[in-house]
Structures are given as C-alpha cells and as structure tokens.
Structure 1
Amino acid sequence: MAELNYHHLRYFWAVAHDGNLSRTAQRLHVSQSALSVQIRKLEEQLGQNLLEREGRRLRLTEAGRIALDYADTVFAAGAELVGTLKGGVGQRRRVLRVGALTTLSRNFQLELLRPLIHRDDVELVIRSAGRRELLAQLQTHAVDLVLSNEALPRDAGADWYSQLVSSQPISVVGPPSADDGPLRFPGDLEGVRLVLPSLESGVRESFDRLLEFAGVRPVILAEVDDMAMLRLVAREGHAYALVPPVVVRDELRAGVLVERCRIPEVRERFYAIFQRRRFPNPLVRELLEAAAGRDNE
C-alpha cells in the first residue's frame, strides 16, 4: 500500500472540523474543486467514504470519524514534537466521547468513568443533553456511547444496544432528627411528606405500584426528574426523598441526610447505549469491562 499522503489528510482534517467545504476552501485559499479532489484521493487510498452531504453541510461517516480521530492525533503529535524539542513535554492520547442524560446522577457518572479519568493516555469528552439529542449524536458518531437510566428498545434501523452497567438500591432519606429510627416500608409512609422522581421514571412506577398494592397514601410535595435537583431538594429537609443512595452519597457520609428505609423491591438501573460499528472505539469495551468487573466483586 502506498504511504499516506499527509497533504490530503490535512485537507480532510480541515474540512471535517469546519463541516463546510466552501468556507474551508476560502480559509485555505484554494478552490472548492481542488479541495474536493484532494479529499476524494484520500478516500480512494483508504477505500472508505469519509464525508457525506447532509443539506448544506458535510457530515462524517463512521470511517470519517475514525479518520478524524487519527488526524487529530497526527497533527497534535506534530505540535507536541515542536513543543518537546523546545523544552516542553508531549503526550499522545486516545479520546472517548460520552453522552449523559442531563437528569442522570453525577455521582454515578463519576463512579463509572473513574477508571479512565486519571489515565494520562485518555481524554474524556462528556456531553450532557436530552435523550433524543444524544441518540442523534450517537448516530452521527459524535459520541461513542450514551449513559441512561432506561434501556432503549431495539431498533433494527438504528441497531441500538443497551448494556446494563450498574443497578443501585433505592432508599427513603431525610434529615437527621430526634426520631432517627428506621421506617417500616410501606406502612410507615402513610401520610408522610415525600419528594419523588417524576412519573416518567421507572423507579417511580415501581414505587407507586407497591404503595397502591399496600393501600398507602403519602403526601407528595414535589416530583423531580433531575437527580441533581432531587438531591438539592432532599437537603432542604422539608420532606423525605426517594433516591438511590449513590445520588446523596456525600450527604449520607456527612450526616446531612440519613437513610430511613431501603426498598429492595425497587432498583435504579443504569445503561450504556451504543451501536454496532465497523470501527468501535476500544475504550468503550474497556469501560464496560471495568463496570462488569465491579458488579462481580
């Protein structure tokens, strides 16, 4: 195979980051046709389409995302070489792009990603957004996986996969008081003021079913779909809150909140959503294997 033409690669790199052929051509002071020819030659050499048109913009194919990652490494290495020879320190790193639902527990995200956070050879890019936006980013290879507290139905067109990475118990927590004894579930929740996850939550559905079966009616003060907000509301101390302990881990350790009862029949499940790819990011496998190893401990 002929050696890679780095001139062609640099043109592709510039267009991939701009997403617009005419703007890149103008910036590089070349014609659009000349730029297109250079990129086409690179695609022919690699045997893969790297860019495809989406309206007026160019969008990376899966092979294009892989090529861009390598191009970023190549040109970053060039900059590092200059820095190293001028007295700096250079280092080449792999990138993992993670999408996380805005409502997902930050403590859970930290625990899951901890094996990669302190590695000098890995750069983590974490993006928070709604489910629809993150799945769109997954399809366009802008993220490598999406973290969610709900599994995604299999879709033959999108070829989604949802892998369970953690399962957390659910507890009723509240501020410390003179009566810090445990609550008996579900009977002691009759008439108790509660802050709950929203009705769309799988945890809430299971919790409501258990109370309905027992004929117990708590007083619902608030319904919150954001775990970070639920944590803050729980700290206010005006009611008990239904949360996975991982969400309020720091408050429980500090004694700001106490666990009044655990509900073994209800668990919060966390999933990694990804797609089958011809060129998978090896860091995804490393992350999922580390998560599976923790569950087996």
Structure 2
Amino acid sequence: MINYKQLHHFWNVARAGGIARASERSGLAPQTLSGQIAALEASMGATLFRREGRRLALTETGHTVLAYAEEIFRVGAELEEAVANRASSRTIPFRVGVADVVPKSIAWQLLAPSMQLGERVRIHCREDKLERLLGDLAIHKLDLVLADSPMPTHMDVRGQSQKLVESRISLFAAERLAQTLGDDFPACLDRVPLLLPGADATIRQPLLHWFERNRVTPSIVGEFDDSALMKSFGQAGIGIFPAPELIADQVCRQYEVSRIGKPLDLLESFYAITVSRRNTHPATLAICAPQQRDREA
C-alpha cells in the first residue's frame, strides 16, 4: 500500500523543483526528504527522479506518479473543505459541466432543485464538449455533467447516467418566415431553410430521418454546436430550427418566433451523469431525486 506521507514529500519536491527548495519551504532537512523519496521509490520499484546537472528532473514514471499525486491531494483538500463547510454551514461548492448541445433554459430547469436546498450552495457551471466534461468528471473536477445522452460506452469512465427529463421536439420560425409556409404540415417544410444542431447533438440524426420519413427535403443553411446561437439565427429569419417542446413557450417569447405545425414524434432526453462516489453531494441528490424525474413534455 502507498505510504501517503512519502507521496506527499515527493509531491512537494516535484512542485518545488528540487530537494533544497522543498526543504526551505517545508522546514524539513534535505536528508529527510531524500530518505522519504528513496523509500517511496523502493516501495514502488521505480525511479521517480533523475539527475540533470545540478537539478532533479522527473522520469516518465515520475510524471505519472505526480499526476496521480496532484489529484489525490486536490481531492483530499476538497474533502477537508466539504467537511469544514458542513460543520460551519458555509457555502457548499457544486461544480457542474453542461454539454454545449443542452439548451440553457433546460439546464436551468434541471439545476434549479440544487438552488432550493436548506444548505447554501454555490454553483460553478462550465459549458464544453461532452467528452472533455466527462474527462474532468472522471478526475473529480466536476460533481455532475448534464448531457443529451447517457455516458458513452467507449469511454473508460466508471459512472452512472440518470435520465432526468424527456421532451418531444417542435420546429420554430421567425414570423416573416412562418407566414411563407403553407398549412400542409409537414409537406410545407420542403425546400425551407433549416438550421440544424451540430454533429454532437443526439437529436440531429433522428431529426434528419424524420424529414426523410415524411418525404420533405429542407435546405440546410447552418449547423450549430451552441443551441442558443442557433435560435438567434432563427430569430433573424435565417431558417426554421428545432427545440424541445418542454421549453416551447419560453423559446417563442425570448426569440419572438412561432411554433410550426404540431410537435414531432421525436423524443429528446436529458441526463445527469455522475461518478459513483460523488453521489452523496446534496445538490446532486436534489437534482436526481425521483420526484424531479417525473417531468415530460
């Protein structure tokens, strides 16, 4: 088993760039630090430092050990902070990743229960590509990720996905574009300019297949990773665009657009993805509570 005291000494020396500087910072004798690192190397059966002139440099194994040590001691600091926050009723940090294909208003609806706890929560939201967010989730830089798909099977991340809500899809258009369409839905969509979610959006291919099944061929004039940007182009009358029926009224008000026809026979789902040992966070539990899952448009 790893001696974490020895690992901590190695971590300090690696960050300081040498034993002498680490000795000055820690107040420990250089001989003590050298002995601790030698003991760690012996227990691991690997050399962690090599001499380069008058300085120490990490070996390839040393770099690997340092990466793990950074994470171990960062999580340890988080643990101390979490316990201290609970003990003193201070604000609890809640780090959330939101996949860039998730509409902002749906992200807010799903995260809202975390802001209604008796405990004070300070939420930190970061938007990015799903795979990058899952990478940070795996090393515990995030507590939860919101996405439009469950955890991809090809990713070597131990976690769980929970469906929070699902919604049918509707199509929207600025009023001047909507007025050019006939009443024969969906045939009226043939050759109409279309704004399409980007390749990462789970709903993209089902939407294209829906057009094929209904024998209509809209003209794709734009593709967007950011759903809010797609809606802004739609507001400008550049093309029709899809959005979940769950937020249809809000989309119509905010972007001054109209719903076209009736909701499509397509469902879009949104998930909370967590790593197992993080499921005790009170904000995560509030978001994933059974009563929060009973939402469908």
CA distance in 1, matches of 2:273, 2:248: 25
In the alignment, structure 1 residue 54 sits paired with structure 2 residue 64: yes
CA distance in 2, matches of 1:154, 1:294: 26
- The one-letter amino acid paired with 1:192 is V
| Helix, strand or coil at the partner of 2:157 | coil
State how 1:210-249 maps to structure 2 within 5 Å: 210-245=210-245, 249=249
Number of aligned positions between the proteins:
257
Shift of 1:246: 5.4
Query: What is aligned with 2:135?
Result: 136
Which runs of no fewer than 5 residues in structure 1 stay unpaired? 1-7, 38-51, 79-89
State how 1:119-134 maps to structure 2 within 5 Å: 119=117, 121-134=120-133
| Paired residues of 1:227 and 1:247 also in contact (CA < 8 A) | no
- State which drifts further: 158-167 or 196-205: 196-205
Which runs of no fewer than 5 residues in structure 2 stay unpaired? 37-61
Give aligned-pair identity as a percent: 20
CA distance in 2, matches of 1:257, 1:171: 12
Shift of 1:249: 4.9
- The one-letter amino acid paired with 1:220 is I
| Helix, strand or coil at the partner of 1:265 | coil
CA distance in 2, matches of 1:160, 1:204: 25
Deviation string 1:6-38 (CA, Å, 9 cap, x unpaired) is: xx9xxx8xx99x99643794784434856x98x
Query: What is aligned with 1:194?
Result: 194
- Gap change, CA 1:286 and 1:188, over 3 Å in 2: same
Shift of 1:160: 2.8
- Gap change, CA 1:277 and 1:175, over 3 Å in 2: same
Query: What is aligned with 1:49?
Result: none
Query: What is aligned with 1:150?
Result: 149
Pick the aligned partner of 2:27 from 19, 26, 30. Answer: 30
Query: What is aligned with 2:260?
Result: 260
| Helix, strand or coil at the partner of 2:264 | strand
- The one-letter amino acid paired with 2:136 is Q
State how 1:64-75 maps to structure 2 within 5 Å: 65=75, 67-73=76-82
In the alignment, structure 1 residue 162 sits paired with structure 2 residue 161: yes
- Gap change, CA 1:163 and 1:182, over 3 Å in 2: farther
CA distance in 2, matches of 1:239, 1:278: 42
CA RMSD of aligned residues (A): 3.9
Q: Please report the TM-score for the alignment, with normalisation by the length of structure 2.
A: 0.70
